[in-house]
Amino acid sequence: MCLTIPKKVISINGGVVIVENPNGDRQEMKTIVELKPGDFCLTQQNVVIDKMDKSDAQDLIKEIRRIKEKEEIL
């Protein structure tokens, strides 16, 4: 049960959602929840399964950056 990586919704076109990882990589997803650009979300098998509060997502992103900056993972 690892840390969930929050992704930011960049655009929505029909049923296709473009999301961005904290490192800037973008992916195409389908969604089962209503979204708008700027929302943060949780994805699974190329499907958006849930929205996240912006503050929760930002906390998680901070945590991921902290791990990276502290070189906790070499």
Binding site for other proteins (CB under 8 A): 1-6, 21-23, 25, 42-45, 49-50, 52, 56, 63-64, 67-68, 73-74
CB 30 within 8 A of CB 15: yes
**How far is the first Cα of the chain from the last one, in angstroms, to the nearest whole number?**
21
Closer residue to other proteins in complex, CB, 15/73: 73
> Least separation, in Å, of the C-beta of 56 and other proteins?
6
> Least separation, in Å, of the C-beta of 69 and other proteins?
10
* Cα within 13 Å of Cα(60), Cβ side: 18
